[in-house]
A and B are shown apart, each in its own frame.
Chain A
């Protein structure tokens, strides 16, 4: 059967087909845009934080008794000694934050000193000692790790920034975009006038804020900060994490009663919490896409069934005039293809329109080129599947119906 007469017959009964075409159009609009968002979010979740997440955990030690600065230094040293000597611990560090934590310290760094430079680049700061690199599981791909001599305690009344830094490759690229050579040995300025000499470059270590556009930019700073609130990050040998967590918590709680140990958490849970919004959105949108496709499919089944019952006689006549069963099925498939084609063309335009609006209004990413064609093919297939059963029923209508007086 060719398209011509099918199309002309459809024109005689437009309303039902227009409704389905519109449904298909709006469905495509939603499905494609929802899929675009799902893709974007999934891509974000898939990014590597740089940390050995499966084997790393973190917690905080909070002093609630007044300690002198020197006492606090001693406590941190004692704690780290204890932790690093537990069998099964790869390494541990006291830092201000860690990737995916959603809270941390950021600073602007610039190529020139002075506060008049608009060209400063934001970077996350991780205060660490020479154990930081191994604990965070980062590879120093250029230059060297900090030496113990480079690591200093922060001073009470001097805010001068430490003179050394290890930066991520992403930060280096942002600072010196045109420089193909090594970043090691270069100097940048922080805190307006304090120089930082780059001693090493590491591969990947995300900033603590997963939603920040500069999430790949971070810097390890060789400084230890003796505050009441200290965050410890511990990397365990594979399989040891869950055993070590309660063990170390109990050990530290017992070693000093003037503080509490809290926020004991695995990196897995930190990741889960950091991306709970993205994960939830993916689930919600996925559900919407499935439900919507189902509803549209039901609409197609409904209209096709209705058309089959309305056209029972005409199908019988067609059979009497020589239509084979497959040709009756084909009639409905072609009819559905026409409706789908119209709906999908309109829907593609709507989808692009909605995407443009959403990109503008909510700063989403534009759709990848293949999402709309993929959605078109998928929804076309759904339409064909939906119409298949009513069409099969139609093909079973007996040609003898033609001789029955109405």
Chain B
């Protein structure tokens, strides 16, 4: 019977092709508007480290002003001080721990006539690569010993490696940065987490850094942070030493805790650590430590711009208008088809049979609307890319994955069926005798 209904549906769509095309267009435009924003939001809110979400935790300690929380109502600072970062790293109480910050360095490529350029470098402790499942193409990261020793080693991203050294394995080659030589120990494979969950300050959509160096080396070299840096009181001593000893926050810290028990133990350890520090006259505020999963952290940092939520609300309403339009068109078709319907009823079609016939037809229109909607979404995303052309990271936000394609079709079918319900109900309630009565 389904095949018969499909055939009837196709026949009916062909017979009313203008009306059908209008309905498909209305659904497609609505789906396109909605899915464009949903896609952007989906990419923005994507958790690139989903598979380790329950094991990774962002660390926050509240060393802030006793009179004034870092953020209302009582949010601890989003980064940690050098004092705490290094102490917690040294304690090594988690399965893995990473402290890192970003810094602007000047890269001096080999060869005459090649101009030096500035690049954002991530200075990080050794666990970064293992903890965040960063894939390697050549070589590997450095180990904790190299980190402690402040060895001048570096890891490059594939594009940076290709730019500096061409395609060949560059491990062992030297790279000059700010007049200092670094030995390349590893080259990353393609790795492009969006957003860069491990550091959500500034712009989390720009993608990861292209150069990585050991944390301790950066500190001995007195590198400044090019990310956020906040102090609630001025450093007591001047210079870099004073800065390291200050209550200024500028380092992102993550720990890996494989089990729930590990997490509880670590939370206890943090509490103990802060209580100990209070004895030394630090941490004037109440105990307020946080361990957040990547997902919790992204929600906390509001990686999804309010604007996107506003647009999402408006685009859903937009879809509603398109569906109201579709309902109107379907209703017109039902009224026009009254005699056909009542004839079928007179010939013995039950209400249920009519319902099935029209629902199949609506489903067909939904599928067509969904497929066209994918095209519309693609156009919409190109539009977004176009109006944001001045943001070079926009390309990462306007890509559709299979999940989104599937969602577009599903949403279209659900929309079409939802829109069809009332008109179909009207059609099914046409009485078999009605054509005889109304001329």
A/B interface sample: 27 pairs, CB < 8 A? A16-B331, A16-B332, A19-B327, A20-B324, A23-B321, A27-B321, A62-B106, A64-B108, A66-B179, A115-B67, A156-B239, A157-B237, A157-B238, A157-B242, A262-B117, A272-B390, A276-B391, A284-B387, A285-B314, A288-B33, A295-B26, A295-B29, A303-B328, A303-B332, A310-B335, A358-B310, A362-B306
Beta-carbon contact of B321 and A26 below 8 Å: yes
Query: Is the CB of A34 closer than 8 A to any CB of chain B?
Result: yes
Query: Is the CB of A192 closer than 8 A to any CB of chain B?
Result: yes
Chain B residues closer than 8 Å to A362, beta-carbon distance: 306-307, 309-310
Beta-carbon contact of A26 and B320 below 8 Å: yes
The distance from the CB of B259 to the nearest CB of chain A, in whole angstroms, is: 37
- CB-defined interface of B26-57 with A at 8 Å, one 1/0 digit per residue? 10010001000000000000000000000000
Chain A residues closer than 8 Å to B416, beta-carbon distance: none
In the A-B complex, the 10 residue pairs with the closest CB atoms: A157-B238, A64-B106, A280-B387, A362-B306, A19-B328, A306-B332, A299-B325, A276-B390, A23-B324, A64-B178
Question: Which residues of chain A in 252-290 are interfacial with respect to chain B, using CB atoms and an 8 Å cutoff?
Answer: 260, 262, 272-273, 276-277, 279-281, 283-285, 287-288
- CB-defined interface of B318-359 with A at 8 Å, one 1/0 digit per residue? 101110110111011001100000000000000000000000
Bound CA span A363–B336, Å: 48
Beta-carbon contact of A273 and B332 below 8 Å: no
The distance from the CB of B127 to the nearest CB of chain A, in whole angstroms, is: 29
Query: Is the CB of B7 closer than 8 A to any CB of chain A?
Result: no
Chain B residues closer than 8 Å to A229, beta-carbon distance: 104
The distance from the CB of B116 to the nearest CB of chain A, in whole angstroms, is: 5
Query: Is the CB of B234 closer than 8 A to any CB of chain A?
Result: yes
Beta-carbon contact of A34 and B115 below 8 Å: no
Query: Is the CB of B384 closer than 8 A to any CB of chain A?
Result: yes
Among B68, B106, B235, B391, max chain A CB count under 10 A is at B106
The distance from the CB of B178 to the nearest CB of chain A, in whole angstroms, is: 5
- CB-defined interface of B229-244 with A at 8 Å, one 1/0 digit per residue? 0000111011100100
Beta-carbon contact of A159 and B238 below 8 Å: yes
Chain A residues closer than 8 Å to B242, beta-carbon distance: 157
What residue in chain A is nearest B26 (Cβ atoms)? Answer: A295
Number of residues on chain A facing chain B (CB within 8 A): 59
The distance from the CB of A375 to the nearest CB of chain B, in whole angstroms, is: 14
From A260, A280, A296, give the contact of B118 (CB < 8 A).
A260
Query: Is the CB of B22 closer than 8 A to any CB of chain A?
Result: yes
Query: Is the CB of A314 closer than 8 A to any CB of chain B?
Result: no
Query: Is the CB of A384 closer than 8 A to any CB of chain B?
Result: no
The distance from the CB of A162 to the nearest CB of chain B, in whole angstroms, is: 14
Whether A26 touches B115, Cβ cut-off 8 Å, given contacts A64-B178, A157-B238, is no
Query: Is the CB of A96 closer than 8 A to any CB of chain B?
Result: no
Whether A118 touches B68, Cβ cut-off 8 Å, given contacts A15-B422, A15-B426, is yes
Beta-carbon contact of B390 and A273 below 8 Å: yes
Bound CA span A66–B223, Å: 12
The distance from the CB of A92 to the nearest CB of chain B, in whole angstroms, is: 22
Bound CA span A149–B133, Å: 57
The distance from the CB of B426 to the nearest CB of chain A, in whole angstroms, is: 7
Beta-carbon contact of B234 and A159 below 8 Å: yes
Among B26, B238, B321, B390, max chain A CB count under 10 A is at B321
Beta-carbon contact of A19 and B331 below 8 Å: yes
Number of residues on chain B facing chain A (CB within 8 A): 57
Query: Is the CB of A11 closer than 8 A to any CB of chain B?
Result: no
Bound CA span A258–B114, Å: 14
Query: Is the CB of B315 closer than 8 A to any CB of chain A?
Result: yes
Interface residues of B (CB under 8 A from A): 22, 26, 29, 33, 65, 67-68, 104-106, 108, 115-118, 177-179, 233-235, 237-239, 242, 305-307, 309-311, 313-315, 317-318, 320-322, 324-325, 327-329, 331-332, 335-336, 383-384, 387-388, 390-391, 422, 426, 439
What residue in chain B is nearest A161 (Cβ atoms)? Answer: B234
Chain B residues closer than 8 Å to A30, beta-carbon distance: 314, 317-318, 321
> A115-B67, A260-B116, A288-B33 provided; 15 other pairs, C-beta below 8 A?
A16-B332, A19-B324, A23-B328, A115-B233, A118-B68, A159-B238, A192-B233, A295-B325, A296-B321, A299-B324, A302-B22, A303-B328, A306-B335, A310-B335, A362-B306
From B118, B318, B390, give the contact of A288 (CB < 8 A).
B318
Chain B residues closer than 8 Å to A65, beta-carbon distance: 178-179
Query: Is the CB of A147 closer than 8 A to any CB of chain B?
Result: no
Bound CA span A116–B318, Å: 51
The distance from the CB of A40 to the nearest CB of chain B, in whole angstroms, is: 11
What residue in chain B is nearest A19 (Cβ atoms)? Answer: B328
The distance from the CB of A107 to the nearest CB of chain B, in whole angstroms, is: 10
From B68, B315, B317, give the contact of A29 (CB < 8 A).
B317
The distance from the CB of B272 to the nearest CB of chain A, in whole angstroms, is: 29
Query: Is the CB of A323 closer than 8 A to any CB of chain B?
Result: no
The distance from the CB of A74 to the nearest CB of chain B, in whole angstroms, is: 19
Chain A residues closer than 8 Å to B309, beta-carbon distance: 361-362
Whether A283 touches B387, Cβ cut-off 8 Å, given contacts A66-B179, A156-B238, is yes
The distance from the CB of B375 to the nearest CB of chain A, in whole angstroms, is: 15
What residue in chain B is nearest A64 (Cβ atoms)? Answer: B106
Bound CA span A195–B329, Å: 73
Beta-carbon contact of A279 and B387 below 8 Å: yes
Bound CA span A114–B351, Å: 82
What residue in chain A is nearest B238 (Cβ atoms)? Answer: A157
Chain A residues closer than 8 Å to B235, beta-carbon distance: 159
Query: Is the CB of A406 closer than 8 A to any CB of chain B?
Result: yes
Whether A64 touches B116, Cβ cut-off 8 Å, given contacts A19-B324, A280-B387, is yes
From B305, B325, B336, give the contact of A298 (CB < 8 A).
B325
Beta-carbon contact of B311 and A284 below 8 Å: yes
Chain B residues closer than 8 Å to A184, beta-carbon distance: none
